[in-house]
Structure 1
Amino acid sequence: MKLTDYVTEFLQKKGIHDFFGYQGTMIAHLVDSIEHNANTKSHSSYNEQGAAFAACGYAQAKDSCACAYATSGPGAVNLLSGVADAYFDSLPVIFITGQLNTYEYSGIDGLRQQGFQEIDIVSMAKPVTKYAVQIREAQDIVRELNLAWQIANTGRKGPVLIDLPMNIQRGEVSDPVYDMKFSDEETEAAVYNRKDGGNGAAFYREAVDKADSADAAEAAKEILCKLKEAKRPVFMIGHGAAGSGEKILVDIARKHQIPVITSVLARSVLAWDDPLNCGCIGGAYGHRYANMIANAKSDLLVCFGISLCTRQIGTKVHEFARGAQIVRVDIDPYNLQREIHEGREGEKCFCVSAEDVAERLAAAESRISSYGDWLEVCRRIRRELTQVDDETPERYPNRMIAYLSDQLGDTGAVAVDVGQHMVWSYQSFHNKQDQKILFSGGHGAMGYALPAAIGAHYATGKPVACICGDGAFQMNIQELQWVKRENIPVKMVVMNNEALGMIRHLQRDYFDCVYADTSDGSGFSSCDFSDVAKAYGIRAKRIQGEDVENASGEFLEQNGPELLEIMLENGTYAYPKTCLGEPIHNQQPYIPKPIFDELMEI
């Protein structure tokens, strides 16, 4: 059996039918195999970064593994931003790169390049993959592909990379295996030893041992004990609980009236108007009410698969939730080494999967009390602080997002790019139940949303949308041709303030309003995106911000791909925002003192 036929069939049997990439001489055998497999389809991007982000969007939207490919050299390097995105956001993606024929390698140490378009992509990718390997013998692909699949899809999920020299791609594989299993020790050695000169697995085990326990039963027992003592508990859910784990946790919370706060990546765990939904935490820009409830009102935070990094809880880490006990459940032992309370006072850490603990809690949920009165306090905080924000004039883009979300209610997923519009979207998008909102979280990659939305369409089989700023959209604007070529039903919303608004806000506050490289006339400018989209043959419209409610609804109701460009004033801002040194529950513009004092007292 030809090696690339085996790779394609292996992934197809695992549920991957859509492959994202860009053709090239040194990956041509794989693309040919995808073409000849009746159950697979190759979707060509116009830059390999677009293919990588499409695979990330696919993995996010479907909660399952995806695949992206590229040819050698510049093609492989162009994948790397998407590889990093998958790594930081725990997305299982199989990346496959073509490579120089093995017989062209000289064996000369220190030679800068072995041949045309050759690059050591494995070494480049190792820091941002769980596993990266080059195949030198055709038969090795059987073990390595099975191993890579298991590594990508177990533990803290993430990307793997397999580098295939061209002559290896056309090699033969005997006795193909599709379900080879490996022990935890084997996968740990493969992942961590390659990252740390042979000692990585031992260091990983040492990191696990620093947690209070790596046993799901122990974690569930501790949580049940703390819930019995608590008056004001909160479930904090992050992307590490994605899949069946988050569904079990939401079910438990619903039965026992426990408020839920999420990370940005887990924003769509609950519909926006769900009675349990108390917003997403954010050290700088999170929901006011989420920050107040978690930081100043709760007496117990039960954290599932959420990192509690400074982006979530602020830079003064030891000041976070000082009046609350914290129980943390995370499969990544290194995340648990973030010390939240100084000396870990009142903090327990369990290195175990959120799903396993959720199942244990579900089996013992009869021992959990109901917290309806506390939930009503949280809902009051949400109502009153939402009203405070709704009355802030500078937040008019949030009101646009809220309106547009209702027009995009039938989309299966909405991919949001990076910039002020990301803040407006996670604060104000009215997502429906099971409507996914996709973000580039840890990597924060501009240019993510359009290709991610394309990947999400193939994951869900439904119309999708993306929300971008003018700076972000230009990063992968070439993928408009992909949208046109495959007639992808994606609604593209470009919020154009003709500036890099997030940085411009920073420059206003810290650089004396010198807007270097962020504003028109100061080293930055934007195009007419509606004209660009029309040039690609895509229906498009440009409107002024004040016309959103009158002019967007009918436009977005049409079938097929469409681009709506919304012109905003140059000086837009994202609020509420935590001022440096302030507690995260007291953001600018400040809550009127009578309201603040009243809410802090209840």
Structure 2
Amino acid sequence: MKLSDYIVTFLQKKGIRHFFGYQGTMIAHLVDSIERNPETENHSGYNEQGAAFAACGYAQAKEECACAYATSGPGAINLLSGVADAYYDSLPVIFLTGQLNTYEYSGIKGLRQQGFQETDIVAMAKPITKYAVQIRNPEDIVEELNKAYHIATTGRRGPVLIDLPMNIQRSEVENPVYDMTFEDKHTDAAAAQQAADTILEALEQAKRPVIMLGHGVDSSFSQQKLIRFAQKRQIPIITSVLAKSVLGYDHPLNFGCIGGAYGHRYANMIANAKSDLLLCFGISLCTRQIGTKVHEFARGAKIIRIDIDPYNLQRDIHENGINEVKLQAETGAVIDCLAKAAAPDTKGISDWLNVCTEIKENLQAVDDATPERYPNRMIADLSDMLEDTSAIAVDVGQHMVWSYQSFKNHEGQKLLFSGGHGAMGYGLPAAIGAYYATGKPTACICGDGALQMNIQELEWVKRENLPVKIMVMNNEALGMIRHLQRDYFDCLFAGTTDGCGFASCNFAEVAKAYGIPALRMLCDAVREEAPEFLEGEGPKLLEVMLEHGTFAYPKTCLGEPIHNQQPYAPKEVYDRLMEL
């Protein structure tokens, strides 16, 4: 069996049908094998970064392993931003790169380059992969491929990279194996039960518990079990941005996204200032989530952290780890143990839930009355028009903040973000990957800066007539940085606005040039005019024109506690809620 055929068949047997990449001489054998396999489909982007982000969107939307490929040298290097995205957001993606023939290597140590388009991609990828290897002997592929897949899909999931010289790809595999068994080092039933017992004991003492839910709970089955556990005990749930779509926006236990700078006011206040117990499942509690003054977060609460990643648990949240319990365990296994526990009397906890509801309603009213948040209201209107989409991939910038603050996602509808990596250019290709993952219409929300990072993938959308609705929020600026420059650099908008090294095009006209129906309108017109345009099948691009000086609010000012954000809530409202 040809080695490249074996790789494709192996991945197909593992459930991977769609492959994302860009053709090249040194990956041609693999691409040929994808094309010839009747159970797989090859999808070509127009930049390897776009293909890598499509694989990330696929993995996020499907919660299963994805695959992207590239040729050697510049092609492989272009994958790396997507590799990093998968690494930081724990996405199981197998990256396959072509390489020059093994017999072209000279053996001269220190030689800068062995041959045309040769790069040591394994060395470059190792810091941002769980495993990276070059195959130098055909007989190694069986064990290495089985091993790489196991590593990508177990424990804290993440990307792996296999570098495939051309002569290796065209070699023969004599004994193909598709289900090699490896020791599972991550499942420890005793540790899971001990963690569950610790949580249940803490709940008996707590009067104001909160569940903090992160992307580390990476199974929909486990997520729903945890929600049912919370429902039995009437415990409010606060999520990370990546875990936002675990609950529908209107779920009675949904109390928003935590955020050190731009989180929901009510989530920040409940977690940081009102709770006496935080049960943290697979959430990193990084500075982006809890603010830069880490030791001041939730000082009045006991923190119990459940995480499979021991390195995450090395960081103390409370100073010297006081009143903080760290439990290294698989979140799904701990949740399984909790699900078996009997439901207690929830009388006191129900009172706490009423307090949380009052905080949420009052602080939502404060934000709803903030004139500068008109983009948030527009995003909420757009969410009503995108109810039939399976996933919405959101790019990076102010529009990302507006989206996780105000997009009204329904149960089962996923919002996809580039979280830890925060890569501009993610949205459009991720929406493409999400379509192949779900088989249903998807959408992306981009800024004018973000879309230009991978605008060439509009041709991919048109070529395959994908049902992807593309929303471009155009304020003709890099709004997030412009806001920073206003506050800290005396309004010198270097590299962020027209006339200072940045400019935006007419995206509607660009989309039309690609053959995609497009419309440009002012933000105020979206509610009335956008629904009719967005109806129907196939791709559409809606460009929404905003004022240059847009802002993302609420925002935590440097030095302030994260629950007291700008523009500040009226003092009488803030003081009353803090006394509840």
Scaled by the length of structure 1, what TM-score is found?
Answer: 0.95
1:23 is matched with 23
Deviation track 1:102-159 (CA, whole Å, cap 9, x = no partner) reads: 0000000000000001000000000000000000111110000000000000000000
1:284 aligns with 2:261: yes
Structure 1 segments unaligned to the other structure (5+ residues): 189-207
CA distance in 1, matches of 2:361, 2:84: 38
Write the letter of the residue equivalent to 1:96.
L
Q: Show the counterpart of 1:422.
A: 400
**SS in structure 2 at match of 1:430:** coil
Q: Does 1:363 align with 2:340?
A: yes
1:519 maps to 2:497 = yes
* Contact 1:303 1:328 (C-alpha < 8 Å) held by counterparts: yes
Q: CA deviation at 1:546?
A: 1.3
Which residue, 214, 217, 228 being the options, matches 1:241?
217
**Equivalent in 308, 328, 349 of residue 351 of structure 1:** 328
CA distance in 2: counterparts of 1:259 and 1:379, whole angstroms: 9
- Aligned counterparts of 1:93 and 1:100: Cα–Cα separation in 2: 23
Equivalent position of 2:421 in the other structure: 443
Question: After the TM superposition, which of the residue ranges 376-385 and 303-312 deviates more from structure 2?
Answer: 376-385
Instruction: Report the counterpart of residue 81 of structure 1 in structure 2.
Output: 81
State the superposition RMSD in angstroms. Answer: 1.3
1:255 is displaced (CA, Å) by 2.0
String of CA shifts for 1:250-287, please: whole Å, max 9, x gaps.
11112221100000000101000110000000000000
AA aligned to 1:445 is A
Match of 1:194 in 2: none
Q: Distance in 1 between matches of 2:191 and 2:563?
A: 34
SS in 1 for 2:452: helix
* Cα shift at 1:20: 0.2
Q: Which residue matches 2:295?
A: 318
Contact 1:228 1:369 in 2 (8 A): no
Distance in 2 (CA, whole Å) between partners of 1:131 and 1:214 is 28
Q: Which runs of 5+ in 2 are unaligned?
A: none
Indicate the residue corresponding to 2:197 in structure 1.
221
What is the rounded CA distance, in whole Å, between the counterparts of 1:589 and 1:34 in structure 2?
54
Aligned length: 578
Secondary structure of the 1:164 match is: strand
Residue 596 of structure 1 is matched in structure 2 by 574
**Helix, strand or coil at the partner of 1:333:** coil
Distance in 2 of aligned mates of 1:473 and 1:141:
38
SS, match of residue 433 in structure 2: helix
**Paired residue for 2:358?**
380
* DSSP 3-state at the match of 1:68: strand
Q: Is contact 1:227–1:368 with CA below 8 Å preserved after alignment?
A: no
Contact 1:214 1:352 in 2 (8 A): no
Deviation for aligned residue 1:369: 4.2
What residue is the counterpart of 2:442 in the other structure? 464
What is the CA–CA distance in structure 2 between the aligned matches of 1:72 and 1:457, rounded to whole Å? 28
SS in 2 for 1:10: helix
1:368 positional shift: 7.2
CA distance in 1, matches of 2:64, 2:542: 31
Indicate the percent of aligned positions where both proteins have the same amino acid.
72
Structure 2 match to 1:551: 529
Mapped to 2, the partners of 1:462 and 1:533 lie a distance apart of 22
Give how far 1:367 is off: 4.9
Aligned residue identity for 2:336: E
Give yes or no for contact 2:398–2:551 (8 Å, CA) kept in 1. Answer: yes
Q: Secondary structure at the match of 1:475?
A: coil
CA distance in 1, matches of 2:98, 2:544: 41
Q: 1:368 to 1:21 in 2, by over 3 A?
A: farther
Counterpart Cα distance in 1 of 2:248 and 2:518: 29
Matches within 5 A, 1:28-427: 28-184=28-184, 215-243=191-219, 244-367=221-344, 369=346, 371-427=349-405
Measured in 1, the distance between the counterparts of 2:177 and 2:27 equals 23
The letter for the 2-side match of 1:475 is M
1:215 Cα deviation after fit: 0.8
Cα-to-partner distance string for 1:15-55 (whole Å, 9 max, x where unaligned)? 00000000000000001101111100000000000000000
Distance 1:367 1:54 in 2: 45
Q: Are the counterparts in 2 of residues 259 and 276 from structure 1 also a CA contact under 8 Å? A: yes
Pairing partner for 1:583 from 542, 561, 571: 561
2:343 is paired with a residue of what secondary structure?
helix
CA contact (8 A) 1:26 1:165 kept: yes
Contact 2:262 2:401 in 1 (8 A): yes
Offset, 1:558: 2.2
- CA distance in 1 between partners of 2:467 and 2:241 (Å): 25
| Alpha-carbon spacing, 1:368–1:340, altered in 2? closer, same or farther (3 Å) | farther
Q: Which amino acid aligns with 1:571?
A: G
CA deviation after TM superposition for structure 1 residue 214, in Å:
8.0
Q: Which amino acid aligns with 2:544?
A: I
CA distance in 2: counterparts of 1:214 and 1:132, whole angstroms: 32
The answer as to whether partners of 1:129 and 1:161 remain within 8 angstroms in 2 is: yes
Partner amino acid, structure 1, of 2:27? I
Give how far 1:184 is off.
Answer: 4.5
Secondary structure of the residue aligned to 2:453 is helix
Whichever residue aligns with residue 400 of structure 1, its letter is: M
Amino acid in the other structure paired with 2:107: G
- Mapped contact 1:300–1:325 kept (Cα < 8 A): yes
TM-score w.r.t. length of structure 2? 0.98
CA contact (8 A) 1:261 1:290 kept: yes
